[in-house]
Structure 1
Amino acid sequence: MTLPNGLTQEAAGQAAARAYELDRRHVFHSWSAQKALTPMVITAAQGCYVWDGAGHRLLDFSSQLVNTNIGHQHPKVIAAIQEQAAKLCTVAPQHANDARSEAARLIAERTPGELNRVFFTNGGAEAVEHAVRMARLHTGRYKVLSRYRSYHGGTETAVNLTGDPRRWPSDHGNAGTVHFFGPFLYRSQFHASTEAEECERALAHLEQTILFEGPQTIAAIVLESIPGTAGIMVPPPGYLAGVRELCDRHGIVFIADEVMAGFGRTGKWFAIEHAPGVVPDLITFAKGVNSGYVPLGGVAISPDIAATFDDRPYPGGLTYSGHPLATAAAVATITAMAEERIVENAAEIGARVLGPGLHELARRHPSIGEVRGTGVFWALELVRDRATREPLAPYGGTSPAMTEVVAAAKEAGLLLFVNFNRLHVVPPCVIGESEAKEGLAILDQVLSLADKHTV
């Protein structure tokens, strides 16, 4: 058997054994207790599949870290990286280069409103850091508001904005960040019974938070347009418009974090487009902009904020801002997504296959408390008890039941993205109907294990 990368299974197995040995000897992993790790070695990838060190093929329902929107090893992106490497591998960011210029143009064409200037970073956390810095300098204010149940990155400001337990070890209460509750009807903090009530009460709560914190002290509100790692909670109609109105009323910058939800993931180029007419002041992006083939992120900037730095230097930069290899990959990715109608495919697969299929699973499996999502961006909320909504794993942790389900899925050939008590169904945007149904069939099989833990 030969893998997509040309290696025989035997050669791939030998390489995998060596990679694992060196990994455990020398690599320090993120978000992990190092001694307990037994990382899976990936030896090859193609389209919506990856191959592990033993040669087993797995359907990638995780898109790795929800970033390989265009799938693995897309030939047009690989060719663009190779061509750029032969032409100009790297250049300092003070110099213009054609890859960065064209990537900025293509991104600006797709952002809502007039967010026509782009500052490039190496990833999503840096994008959030710089967006917040821009907002603070633009307003002359310092505080930044973000919601609980959110993730914005692992750097200092970004992790303090984050609203999940990964923030706690780095949160000393001195980062100028304030958290509030966003709308989440399934686990409502507002005793709401309808989406309309949840929206109204969540906006009232945010307005109160602004008033009690002092509007004149608040530089920005940072929101994931659709929260990702925290649970894929699609905002109710009117919520993002309400946030925009509150920001306008109080002179607060609205930052839409599209690092995970952007570039086709939700069936639109940007998730904020699901709220028609809502245009943020800044958009942060990364991941899907080039599917992580080369690290890249950035900030799309409104004319008003960009003008702040027309005659005043922006005090920030990176050696690799707009790196030619990364931006060439972005150009190829965006071009291929447009030519191959990949964003439209994500919308169609979500509406016609994944959404109905997941809701059908919920009808058969008592362990599924709720199905949420759009496009190729879905979450299954697993519970012990549908009546009480007790989660199958505690907030901030895992459980033997979740571990059993995930292991069974992997054994059956399905790679999942998991957080606490949730299974996230987030395959590449290029996924076809047969592949989506293959993943749903495996989920149907392994969810019977979760059902055994229900009451």
Structure 2
Amino acid sequence: MTTHHPSSTSSAAPAPQGPAPDPAAGRAVHAADRAHVFHSWSAQGQIDPLAVAGAEGSYFWDYEGNRYLDFASGLVFTNIGYQHPKVVAAVQEQAAQLCTFAPAFAIEARSEAARLIAERTPGDLDKIFFTNGGADAVEHALRMARVHTGRPKVLSTYRSYHGGTQQAINVTGDPRRWASDTGTAGTVHFDGPHLYRSPFWSRTEEQECARALEHLERTIQMEGPATVAAVILETVPGTAGIMMPPAGYLAGVRELCDRYGIVFILDEVMAGFGRTGTWFAADLYDVVPDLMTFAKGVNSGYVPLGGVAISQKIAETFDQRPYPGGLTYSGHPLACGAAVATLRTMAEEGIVEHAAHIGETVLGPGLRELAERHPSVGEVRGVGVFWALDLVRDRTTREPLVPYNASGKDNAPMAEFAAAAKRAGLWPFVNMNRTHVVPPCTITEAEAKEGLAALDEALSAADAHTAEAGGEGTGA
């Protein structure tokens, strides 16, 4: 195939075409997967994973010759797209130079990755602890907070996802927590702000902000401030719905944490590294946490990498006291080499600025235009290349298109929408009653418009289940 990776400023680059279809190879890949691969978050007998033959830029394709525009960015991590030649070359060069080495040593790729990340983190978050992904970044941020404060509890919101490991899944708020939650992990959940489905009966963003902060402070007081080590928030909650916090909310949480001596942790695993049109979502709100977790976009997932950016006051706790944690592959050379290349490429090609531009001029206006024409779209939320459509049966009552945590036939309307999107050549990110629009930060204007056209087509399947079309309600 002809190699082509569109630059972040290209508006009409040709889409990559895969090699000739090879259905027999695809069947072999699929058969081996079903025989031996155990998939996450799945009932193994109910899944039928697509066999993928290749990917490039904003697209991937299967062995049958079907090509998909990836509006999911994998799992919201391919911020610079698939197979970016500069990052692929950097991984190859790093493998040739130093493929792996223990974490206790200073090596060039690790040092440079840490320096480049620290250059972009807000405030004094200048020390970087590397992990293998986002979940263990959260695990270590929580451990740092607990050791630093000597307190046991962590507060987090119900509308959140922080990872699948033991502590991370317990601070997670969504239903994926339920099977692992024993109620003994020292975690306490509270409601964060979300005006469209406000738990505080608010009518304005100002009310929602004030009432959410009052609720959080009351939770801290009822739990006992001296027992609370940390408050952890996704700066912009991702999988839970891309809910932009109202103006003043994060600053208010920062003030509450300062008042009660609590560590403030921002989880930027999904929102970081250009996704919101800024290096970090925290930059949108001019707030500096004590700890910040990252992963995914730091190197677009080319080699697994995550980490914790640490403030001076937290780092000082461990100047003369050993930090009780570590990983065999912390700061793995291949992962750090990919991060160095990714961060340099993002700066050189203006990818962060491009993500902001695409959000302001194409995705935002285009999604709002779709909402005007499709009764299934209750709300459009987002920024940069980080958007969600909240799909409803009834715009007046805001009844979700499917019930909370629906499965089986109850989830049929969303399954029909997803199938329609795939038939239109679009791979969607679907969660509960939402479809998220989270393409690579490098997506071109032409590709974004192609995706919007496919969404337009697929939303007709959701519209068929609305009150306007005579669809039956399910209950909120």
**So what's the TM-score if we normalise by structure 2?**
0.94
Q: Deviations over 1:116-145 (max 9, x none)?
A: 000000000000000000000000001000
Out of 179, 183, 193, the residue aligned to residue 183 of structure 1 is 193
CA distance in 2, matches of 1:198, 1:95: 48
2:89 counterpart of 1:79: yes
Give the SS at the match of 1:379.
strand
Alignment-derived partner of residue 358 in structure 1:
367
Q: Deviations over 1:5-50 (max 9, x none)?
A: 9974244x33322110000000000000000110011111000000
Out of 414, 421, 438, the residue aligned to residue 409 of structure 1 is 421
CA distance in 2, matches of 1:249, 1:327: 37
Alignment-derived partner of residue 148 in structure 1:
158
2:42 counterpart of 1:23: no
2:183 counterpart of 1:173: yes
2:266 counterpart of 1:252: no
CA distance in 1, matches of 2:175, 2:97: 44
Give the SS at the match of 1:96.
coil
CA distance in 1, matches of 2:105, 2:172: 34
CA distance in 2, matches of 1:155, 1:349: 34
2:458 counterpart of 1:449: no
Unaligned runs of 5+ in 2: 5-15, 468-476
Q: Deviations over 1:363-420 (max 9, x none)?
A: 0000000000000000000000111111111111241111111001101100010100
Alignment-derived partner of residue 296 in structure 1:
305
CA distance in 2, matches of 1:6, 1:337: 24
Alignment-derived partner of residue 348 in structure 2:
339
2:339 counterpart of 1:327: no
CA distance in 2, matches of 1:49, 1:192: 41
8 Å contact from structure 1 (residues 392, 402) kept in 2: yes
State the one-letter code of the partner of 1:269: W
Q: Deviations over 1:128-168 (max 9, x none)?
A: 00000000000000100000110000000000000000000
CA distance in 2, matches of 1:3, 1:302: 42
2:398 counterpart of 1:389: yes
State the one-letter code of the partner of 1:104: A
Q: CA RMSD in A?
A: 1.3
Give the SS at the match of 1:95.
coil
CA distance in 1, matches of 2:24, 2:99: 31
Give the SS at the match of 2:129.
strand
Give the SS at the match of 1:254.
strand
Out of 4, 13, 20, the residue aligned to residue 9 of structure 1 is 20
Give the SS at the match of 1:9.
coil
CA distance in 2, matches of 1:10, 1:59: 17
8 Å contact from structure 1 (residues 2, 8) kept in 2: no
CA distance in 2, matches of 1:444, 1:17: 32
2:276 counterpart of 1:266: yes
For residue 3 of structure 1, report the CA deviation from its aligned partner: 9.0
The sequence identity of aligned pairs, in percent, is: 70
8 Å contact from structure 2 (residues 21, 63) kept in 1: no
Out of 371, 378, 382, the residue aligned to residue 373 of structure 1 is 382
**So what's the TM-score if we normalise by structure 1?**
0.98
8 Å contact from structure 2 (residues 429, 437) kept in 1: yes
Aligned pairs for 1:86-165 within 5 A: 86-165=96-175
CA distance in 2, matches of 1:23, 1:35: 12
Alignment-derived partner of residue 317 in structure 2:
308
Q: Deviations over 1:76-135 (max 9, x none)?
A: 000000000000000000111100000000000000001100000000000000000000
CA distance in 1, matches of 2:332, 2:57: 25
For residue 205 of structure 1, report the CA deviation from its aligned partner: 0.3
Alignment-derived partner of residue 238 in structure 1:
248
8 Å contact from structure 1 (residues 115, 300) kept in 2: yes
State the one-letter code of the partner of 1:99: A
CA distance in 2, matches of 1:177, 1:368: 34
CA distance in 1, matches of 2:250, 2:392: 29
For residue 263 of structure 1, report the CA deviation from its aligned partner: 0.3
2:436 counterpart of 1:424: yes
Deviation beyond 4 Å, 4+ runs, structure 1? 1-7
8 Å contact from structure 1 (residues 3, 9) kept in 2: no
